[in-house]
Amino acid sequence: MSSILLVDDDDSLRRVLGFQLEEAGYDVTAVSSAEAAVEKIGKEGRPFDLVLTDLAMAGMDGIELLRRVKGESPGTEVIVITAFGTVESAVSAMKAGAFDYVTKPVSRDELLLTVDKA
């Protein structure tokens, strides 16, 4: 079973995505901020297989979280999700090492297909 760290400041979306991933058999840990994600990664003592993060969040954004994850655990894949998709933000995420970049709203099928590929 793959372990996923889900990072999104939208409570309802975080719950829905978490439920869909758990229903598909993934071990999901969900947090509401990039800062909480960094703390959780430090406390776990093992890397997550995948980090699924929102791009635009208060405080640290998803790109900075992506850089930190890749710096600390290069083998952990990161998928960036955003409601505000632009070519520039997609290029920035991919250059920083994102596995993929997905725009909201994301369907259950698209989510699971992208996560399965990672």
Domains in the chain with CATH codes: 3-117 (3.40.50.2300)
**Residue 105, preceding peptide bond in cis (omega within 30° of 0):** yes
Q: Is the pLDDT of residue 101 over 90?
A: yes
Record the pTM.
0.92
Pair of tokens at residue 35 = 């800062």
Check residues 85 and 35 and name the one with the higher pLDDT: 35
Q: What is the mean pLDDT of residues 8-26?
A: 96
pLDDT of residue 45: 67
pLDDT of residue 84: 79
Q: Is the pLDDT of residue 65 over 90?
A: yes
Q: Which of 49, 112, 60, 57 is nearest to 41 (CA)?
A: 49
